[in-house]
Amino acid sequence: MQKALFGTALLLASAPTLGAQSWTATPSAQPARTFGAAASGGGVALFAGGGHPFVGYHDEVNIYDSSLGGPSDPATWSVATLSEARANLAAASVGGVVLFAGGNGQGFGQPASSVVDIYDVATGTWSQSALSQPRWSDASTTVGGYALFAGGFPDIYGDVPCGSASPTVDAYHAATGTWSQGTLSVPRVVVQATSVGPYAFFAGGQLCSFGPGSDVVEVYDSSVGPPSDPAAWSIANLSQARALGATVSAGGKAFFAGGLAETSPGTWEAVATVDVYDSCVGPPSDADAWSVEYLSIPRSLLTATSQGAQALFAGGEDANYAYHDVVDVFDTETGTWSVEFLSAPRLATSTTVGKYALFAGGYDEDWVWAPFDLVDARQVTSGSWYVDAAAAGPGTGSPGDPFPTIQAGIDAALSGDSVRVGPGEYFEQLVVTKDLTLVSSCGREATVLRGAGLPSGSLITTTSASFVLEGFTIANGQAPEGGGLFVSGGDVRIEDCFFLLCRAGTSMSTGEGGAIYVASGTLEVHSTLFRSNTAAGVGKGGAIYGSPLVRSCEFRDNRAEGTPVQGARGTAIFGNPRIENSIFDRNGTNASCLFALDFDSPIDVVSSTFVNNGAYVIPSSSTVRNSVFWGYPSGGGLGGAGGSADVQYCIVQGGHPGVGNLDQDPLLRAPLTDTAGLQLSWGSPAIDAGDNDAVPSEVTKDFAGRARFRDDPMTPDTGVGSGPKVDIGAFEFQPRSIWKVGTPSQIDEP
């Protein structure tokens, strides 16, 4: 990877664009310093305190306002002051305020501080409070409406004698402005803290300056009770004991990275270990929810922050006391690592606000007075705002202080931003008027937008030019049109969602689009389930009313009430869709499964499976390839409307004119009660019988996510095209050989 080189810290420098990111490095108005603290909330980032133990500590607070522009613009920065100068303090953001707690005064032998400086983001004013005891090097994080400050050393700045670390957890409750206390089971200094969902983690650390490291992870569950409740606390463990690492959360995961581990009594080495807790898998007590990753270079004293779904680990010191400019980036969506670079090797302080991850200050490896006033800014194409059902609110939308409602995140976001939603149930009706990506951190199984108990109205209404919805279950919505989603203009893309029990209309009124109604604009739907949605009255479009691109989707048990004579149409889709790699199963019997808006408007179907539905009315000029139509009710069939559709290389019960069409049992797996039942059995006439050229280039996998174009050597090719012939239907038969005594046979891979 190309490395960004900078001639001097006094000049604005820029690194080459790295994917969707770019870096800039610029001197800020803040003093050169290290051992400060940083936090962000409400669109601002604050860097406070710090300095050098032999030269001077600072009371200055540098404030970057992301709403005013990029951090290279001096007009975006302002200056405030702490009530006293100090370093080794902790910072947290909660409920619209940023807190700077504890620390120590100038130089070795100076007493610890109990001061808490509190900045109100909305008013720009400061107030003061106090910890229950003075201490420095305390750890901080935010969860459930509490800012938590744990551990540290309650005496003078210097070596920490064994047995003298603090077990206290001071908890500031944002809603009431009051303090309470909890207790760590193992008193420690230089503990690392982060939070995800309802959990706050206090991990690793040292029992004293030259004592052993700890593998203990103390977990506070805010859903159980306040921090003062011992029942809300439990214990987990790191894979190895260590201290001076870095922690951060991203994409529903908590990361505990690097640090110093004691390899033998009195001998410490930097490590590359990254313990990862995945809240989408289970609670912290579940061993399966933990895994291990590794940094590119072992190091301690690194800093960590997150940008959207990415966790960033920057700078630090290796086992040879060499400082590094490496930024290890872990992408939680792809599960992959990449490497980028700071403008100079150093120890820095970091936080993220808007589109920028900021790495400020630090000093070089010579331990001379050569600290940096430099701020490295990693810019992404869009900012991220965070929502969590477990949040107490009101929140600022930062990872540590998320909003409790999705609409709050939408309202705070700028055009082009992402709103990242934690697991839970959300009873809201959302309105999206700006370009936006709405994505869950733990997927559709864990993140539900539910309409039960809400007044009539679509659960999501979008009028934006560009809207992406990813990883949600949309359930129990009811509206005259589009119980789940109403699209009015723009380009809408749905990924990996589940529309369940949504309803359009009533028994006394015509409903259109049980799950989705497209009034105008374009719609693409990928890898999404539609089950038990209804267009009521004399309905049109049990699942969708519109003309979407549908790829790798499942439609099951959707219905349009009424009869074709009354005007009911489309138990699954009413419109002019293009359907690829999808499944339609048991979508009513009263109306046609697929029906165009008028007889002259074509539809396109490729590599899909239709079973146990009503009749299929395929309009004139439509194109149908590589698809299965089977299991009709009495009187069903594949018919044309207003002319002849072009149907080729399909299996059609009762037969249909066209090249390569078959009227043979496709030998789908039995029983046909779930998705697995629609896969091909060995010997199916659908195997190697399709038209390769009909498959879109974007479709490289079948409905189950397995490779397309798999040749079965036991089946003669009856399809057309170069190379292995594609199978007919939504599933590709996956052959493999197993040997029995005397003869080979084929089975389908699970």
Look at residue 321 in the predicted model and tell me its pLDDT.
Answer: 82
Tell me the sheet residues that pair with 376. 25, 359
What is the distance of C-alpha 218 from the center of its chain?
A: 25
Which residues contact residue 674 at a Cβ distance below 8 angstroms, ignoring those fewer than 6 apart? Answer: none
Binned at pLDDT 50, 70 and 90, residue 456 comes out as very high
Predicted structure pTM score: 0.86
Nearest in space to 699 (alpha carbons), one of 642, 617, 749, 627: 627
Q: How far apart are CA 84 and CA 27, in angstroms?
A: 25
Report CA dihedral (344, 332, 256, 94) to the nearest 10 degrees.
90
Range of lowest pLDDT (44-58, 206-220, 471-485): 44-58
Asked if residue 744 has pLDDT above 70, the reply is no
What is the distance of C-alpha 236 from the center of its chain?
A: 24
Amino acid letter, 490: G
Structure tokens, 150: 């744990």
Binned at pLDDT 50, 70 and 90, residue 434 comes out as very high
Look at residue 622 in the predicted model and tell me its pLDDT.
Answer: 87
Binned at pLDDT 50, 70 and 90, residue 562 comes out as confident
Look at residue 663 in the predicted model and tell me its pLDDT.
Answer: 93
Range of lowest pLDDT (231-245, 606-620, 661-675, 729-743): 729-743
In the chain, the percentage of residues whose pLDDT exceeds 70 is: 85
Mean of the per-residue pLDDT values of the chain: 86
Q: How far apart are CA 117 and CA 329, in angstroms?
A: 32
Q: How far apart are CA 217 and CA 237, in angstroms?
A: 5
Tell me the sheet residues that pair with 330. 311, 337
Cβ-based burial of 506 (10 A; exposed 0-12, middle 13-18, buried ≥19): middle
Within 10 Å of residue 650's Cβ, how many Cβ atoms?
Answer: 29
Tokens 């680990």 sit at which residue?
313
Tokens 């331990």 sit at which residue?
367
The model's pLDDT over 123-149, given as tens digits with 9 standing for 90+, comes to 999 999 999 999 988 899 999 999 999
Asked if residue 746 has pLDDT above 50, the reply is no
Cα separation of the two ends of the chain: 39
Asked if residue 370 has pLDDT above 90, the reply is no
What is the distance of C-alpha 728 from the center of its chain?
A: 35
Asked if residue 270 has pLDDT above 50, the reply is yes
Contact of 449 with 407, CB cutoff 8 Å: no
Nearest in space to 685 (alpha carbons), one of 641, 719, 635, 634: 719
What is the average pLDDT across 660-682?
83
Structure tokens, 363: 């000093």
Per DSSP, 742 falls in state T
Binned at pLDDT 50, 70 and 90, residue 605 comes out as very high
Structure tokens, 46: 């604050």
Q: How far apart are CA 147 and CA 95, in angstroms?
A: 9
Binned at pLDDT 50, 70 and 90, residue 35 comes out as confident
What is the average pLDDT across 381-386?
88
Asked if residue 106 has pLDDT above 90, the reply is no
- Residues across the chain: 750
Q: How many helices (H) and strands (E) does the chain have?
A: 1, 67
Amino acid letter, 504: A
Q: How far apart are CA 539 and CA 564, in angstroms?
A: 10
Domains in the chain, ordered, with CATH?
Answer: 18-380 (2.120.10.80), 416-595 (2.160.20.10)
Within 10 Å of residue 720's Cβ, how many Cβ atoms?
Answer: 17
3-state secondary structure 254-320: EEEECCEEEEECCEEEECCEEEEEECCCCCCCCHHHEEEEECCCCCECCEEEEECCEEEEECCECCC
- Phi (first) and psi of residue 35, to 5 degrees: 60, 30
Look at residue 160 in the predicted model and tell me its pLDDT.
Answer: 62
Nearest in space to 558 (alpha carbons), one of 531, 536, 593: 531
Query: How far are the Cα atoms of 504, 539, 545, 562, 575 from residue 566, in angstroms, in the given order?
Result: 17, 9, 18, 6, 18
Which strands form 13-14's sheet, in the order they lie side by side?
13-14, 21-27, 374-380, 356-360, 349-353
Q: How far apart are CA 357 and CA 336, in angstroms?
A: 19
3-state secondary structure 329-364: EEECCCCEEEEEECCCCCCCEEEEECCEEEEECCEC
Largest Cα separation within the chain, whole Å, is: 92
Look at residue 645 in the predicted model and tell me its pLDDT.
Answer: 85
The model's pLDDT over 174-199, given as tens digits with 9 standing for 90+, comes to 999 999 999 999 998 889 999 998 99
Nearest in space to 203 (alpha carbons), one of 152, 237, 169, 248: 237
Binned at pLDDT 50, 70 and 90, residue 749 comes out as very low
Give exposure, 306-326, as e/b (b: 16+ Cβ within 10 Å): bbbbbbbbbbbbbeeeebbbb
Contact of 588 with 560, CB cutoff 8 Å: yes
Query: How far are the Cα atoms of 264, 580, 732 from residue 704, in angstroms, in the given order?
Result: 50, 13, 9
Interior angle at CA 725, CA 723 and CA 728, nearest 5:
160
Q: How far apart are CA 364 and CA 352, in angstroms?
A: 23
Q: How far apart are CA 535 and CA 555, in angstroms?
A: 14
Look at residue 694 in the predicted model and tell me its pLDDT.
Answer: 96
DSSP code string of 207-263: SSTTS-BEEEEEEEETTT--TT-GGGEEEEEEEEEEBS-EEEEETTEEEEE--EEEE
